[in-house]
Amino acid sequence: MKIYKTKNYEEMSRKAAHIISAQVTLKPDSVLGLATGSTPIGTYENLVKWYEDGDLDFSGITTVNLDEYKGLPRDNDQSYYYFMHHHLFDHVNIPDGRTHLPDGTKEDSDQECRQYEELIQSLGGVDLQLLGLGHNGHIGFNEPDDIFPDDTHCVNLQERTIEANKRFFASADEVPRQAYTMGIGTIMRAKKILIVVSGADKADTVKEAFFGPITPKVPASILQLHPDVTLVADEAALSKID
């Protein structure tokens, strides 16, 4: 695992964007695995700016997203479909039909998860997967569990995840209780993984996930076994690491 320590969130975002930019430049037909949440927003802002400046071309890129809430229509401003279009897709030249997310409106969970997993495989897998890190060590919506789930699946969200996400909704009651997410196996099959973390509130989780035992109770700990992982984190997030 390569670790880059940055001074703050802004520097973390630029560093992560440079890594993604290098991937796009060196392999213009890359399949990018993308993440949502507050942490990657600055990374996307940098990518959009560099595209607008003429320094990046996304015309050959295909994307697959980690996850999506179950039950939210795509025009809901809290859906991850809406998030990705607002922060990235509507501002760069990724062709129509080449951005993919699980469809949260599909009620047949098994069918939707199977189709999404087959889609990823049909694209040849993910070249670079971007991840954030949840307070309980989750990646995507893979919550602490007794096992590492393999493929794309439907998950019941834990209360801590619901609590962390309720700030985006009018109340905690409006936060969906289920989500579709890539499995740990799906994530681990990506050729490269880039994980971004910011803030002192994530410091204990960083220590557990990347310097503690590998356990499904801390899902991100499995990343210690991946051959090509880059962690970009600010000083606050790395403050518990010697």
With residue 19 as reference, give the H or E element that holds it.
helix 9-26
CB count in 10 Å sphere of residue 59 = 11
Is residue 166 scored above 90 in pLDDT?
no
Q: Which residue has the higher pLDDT, 162 or 59?
A: 59
CB count in 10 Å sphere of residue 137 = 24
Set out the domains of the chain in order of their start, with CATH numbers: 2-197 (3.40.50.1360)
Look up 151 and say whether it is catalytic: no
Look up 53 and say whether it is catalytic: no
- Supply φ then ψ for residue 137, to 5 degrees: 85, 10
Task: Give the active site residue among 46, 65, 87, 138.
Answer: 138
Is residue 88 scored above 90 in pLDDT?
yes
CA dihedral 160, 165, 167, 173 (to 10 degrees): -80
CA dihedral 197, 199, 205, 211 (to 10 degrees): 70
Share of the chain above pLDDT 70, in %: 100
Distance CA 185, CA 19 (A): 23
Look up 135 and say whether it is catalytic: no
Output b/e per residue, 197-221; b: 16+ Cβ within 10 A. bbbeebbebbbbbbeeeebbebbbb
pLDDT tens-digit map of 52-67: 999 999 999 999 999 9
Q: Reading across the β-sheet that carries 31-34, which strands appear in turn?
A: 2-6, 229-234, 192-197, 128-131, 31-34, 62-65, 99-100
Task: Give the active site residue among 136, 153, 165, 234.
Answer: 136
CB count in 10 Å sphere of residue 31 = 21
Task: Give the active site residue among 67, 112, 117, 127.
Answer: 67
DSSP label at residue 216: T
* pLDDT bracket for residue 28 (50, 70, 90): very high
pLDDT tens-digit map of 173-218: 888 899 999 999 999 999 999 999 999 999 999 999 999 999 999 9
Q: Which two tokens stand for residue 97?
A: 């039909």
Strand partners, 142: 139
- The residue ranges of DSSP E strands in the chain, in sequence order, are 2-6, 31-34, 62-65, 67-69, 99-100, 128-131, 153-156, 178-181, 192-197, 229-234
Look up 136 and say whether it is catalytic: yes
Task: Give the active site residue among 68, 143, 208, 234.
Answer: 143
Least confident of 148-152, 175-179, 199-203, 222-226: 175-179
Mean pLDDT, to the nearest integer, of 130-142?
Answer: 94
Could you tell me how many residues make up the chain?
A: 242
Instruction: Please state whether the predicted TM-score (pTM) of the whole model is above 0.85.
Output: yes
